Amino acid sequence: MQGGTLSRWTMSYFAAACLMFVLGQGMMLAGYGYPAAAASAPETLVLVHVIAIGWLSLLMVGALLQFVPVLVARSLVGGQLAAPALVLLLVGLLCLVAGFVALSGALDLALGLLPFGAALLVLGFGLIAAVLTVTLIAARPLPLPASFVAVGLVSLLGTILLGAVFSFALSGLTGGTWPLRLVTGGVPLHAMLGLGGWLSLTAVGVSYRLLAMFLLAPEVERPTSRAVWWAGSLAIALVAGCVPLVVFALPGTEMLVSVAMAFTLVAVLLYGGDVVKLYRTRKRKQVELNIHASFAAFAALTLSVLFFNLPELRAGEVSAALVYLFVFGWLSGLGLAQLYKIIAFLTWLETYGPVLGRVPVPRVQDLVDERQARLWFWLYYGSVAAAGLALFAGAGLFFRACVFLQLIATLGVMREFVRARRLSSVPAALRVPPGVIRPNLFLPMFTLWR
């Protein structure tokens, strides 16, 4: 990984994200939030932010801390800020969730926790954005995958600033009518900037590099790849352009969103074509599980964006099923699939890199058991598809049964993460050769898990 070193706190971000993902699915299984509550209910807002911030955003930040230096072949600038940023993000999320609980009336908590949590999240994400932005600026001109990350970071700033305005408006700390108009009409824009810009565009950019690296495919900046960047960037710009229209109660939001969705569909189709080209030009003959598992995520992305281009589906009850497919099929599915490889790869580098060439060491593939993990991925994607159909049909009980299977599959995949960190699948003769120290599970500074 030219220009990259092991990020000290990446595993901590991954561990926190995985715990939040389990918590979020447990909440759905218990009937907390949508569909047991309204889509705009405080309970649903708790669930949404646990998944979007606690799971997906922490996962993305952890990945970027490790792979942005790889994308630009330079060391990370200000990497020591990763630890305080993680604390700010976790405490901020806790306070934000507590504020939503106060809003629901379930517990007698101070409503001021809502803007306080939002402020901490702005600080936490601001630190991360600053670290990554300075690193990107120092590496100009940027390679194409890093350009996706740059647009994703701009989308992140837009997302968190909108969220901060929402939190102040909901807590009653702002006057005037425009914050209330923004709360009423800006929530879909907030979601599009977060899920589409920050998480999806960034994931696409990083995946170009990771897929080429893990498939041993040529890293070529194709015209189609640049078209993906342009189409995605224009879509995000159009969504951002809707914000002043909502603030000043002007018409045109629906038209701009429709054009943005059309650009998004173009980007997704071109991206899918690039993924196929990477697969066909690979030098690695035997494709590993993380790639096969990612294909289901790509299919979920294509289907959800395709149907979101139909206005009657985007505005109707079907939208909940499409959002579910997008969040749990595309973003979460891709996250789990790539984590399966990334954790094994980083564990191998951390454990055996220092002694490489001096003693026999296992392969990266020896850290995982694909036969066992493949069943968990099949169960995960199957239960996500069934849960989406249950939402479409309004079958709440069947939905919770599907979420139960999805949670079991998630725990199964995460068990494989722990086994990789524990070196459980490595042959005993190669597991701990002389000079090797077993890696900590997720805390870099302590030895409690050795």
Q: CA 119, CA 199: separation in Å to the nearest integer?
A: 21
In this structure, how many other beta carbons lie within 10 angstroms of the beta carbon of residue 259?
A: 15
List b or e across 334-350, with b for residues whose CB sees 16 or more CB atoms inside 10 angstroms. bbbbbbbbbbbbbbbbb
Q: Are 307 and 322 in contact (CB under 8 A)?
A: yes
Q: What pLDDT, on the 0 to 100 scale, is given for residue 60?
A: 98
**Which residue did the predictor score with more confidence, 27 or 181?**
27
User: pLDDT tier at 37 (50, 70, 90 boundaries)?
Assistant: very high
Phi/psi region, residue 128 (left: phi>0; alpha: psi -120 to 50; beta: rest), is alpha
Q: What pLDDT, on the 0 to 100 scale, is given for residue 230?
A: 97
Q: What pLDDT, on the 0 to 100 scale, is given for residue 354?
A: 84
User: In the chain, count of helices (H) and strands (E)?
Assistant: 17, 0
| pLDDT tens for each residue of 219-236 | 878 999 999 999 999 999
Question: Is the pLDDT at 117 greater than 90, yes or no?
Answer: yes
Q: What pLDDT, on the 0 to 100 scale, is given for residue 316?
A: 67
Q: Which residue's entry shows tokens 């702005």?
A: 122
Token reading at 328? 């749990």
CA geometry: angle 135, 138, 140, nearest 5 deg? 110
Q: Which of 4-13, 277-286, 390-399, 439-448 shows the lowest mean pLDDT across its residues?
A: 439-448
User: pLDDT tier at 448 (50, 70, 90 boundaries)?
Assistant: very low
Question: If you average pLDDT over every residue of the chain, what do you get?
Answer: 92
Question: Is the pLDDT at 85 greater than 70, yes or no?
Answer: yes
Work out the average pLDDT over 308-326. 86
Q: Which residues contact 89 (CB under 8 A, 6 or more apart)?
A: 53, 57, 58, 61, 120, 121, 124, 125
In this structure, how many other beta carbons lie within 10 angstroms of the beta carbon of residue 176?
A: 8
The DSSP code for 112 is: T
Question: Is the pLDDT at 18 greater than 90, yes or no?
Answer: yes
Burial of 82 (0-12, 13-18, 19+ CB in 10 A): buried
Q: Are 148 and 200 in contact (CB under 8 A)?
A: no
Q: CA 46, CA 40: separation in Å to the nearest integer?
A: 10
Question: Is the pLDDT at 368 greater than 50, yes or no?
Answer: yes
List b or e across 217-232, with b for residues whose CB sees 16 or more CB atoms inside 10 angstroms. beeeebeebebbbebb
Token reading at 69? 């230096």
Token reading at 398? 């069947």
Work out the average pLDDT over 348-370. 89
Q: Which residue's entry shows tokens 């590496």?
A: 139
DSSP 381-443: HHHHHHHHHHHHHT-HHHHHHHHHHHHHHHHHHHHHHHHHHHTTTS-HHHHS-TT--PPPSS-
Q: CA 93, CA 113: separation in Å to the nearest integer?
A: 10
CA geometry: angle 374, 377, 378, nearest 5 deg? 85
Q: Which residue's entry shows tokens 């405490």?
A: 91
| pLDDT tens for each residue of 410-445 | 999 999 999 999 999 999 888 888 888 888 887 764
* pTM given for the model: 0.94
Question: Is the pLDDT at 312 greater than 60, yes or no?
Answer: yes
Question: Is the pLDDT at 7 greater than 90, yes or no?
Answer: no
Question: Is the pLDDT at 83 greater than 90, yes or no?
Answer: yes
Q: Which residues contact 378 (CB under 8 A, 6 or more apart)?
A: none
Burial of 161 (0-12, 13-18, 19+ CB in 10 A): middle
Q: What pLDDT, on the 0 to 100 scale, is given for residue 53?
A: 98
| pLDDT tens for each residue of 242-264 | 999 999 989 999 999 999 999 99
Q: CA 118, CA 97: separation in Å to the nearest integer?
A: 10
Work out the average pLDDT over 170-188. 84
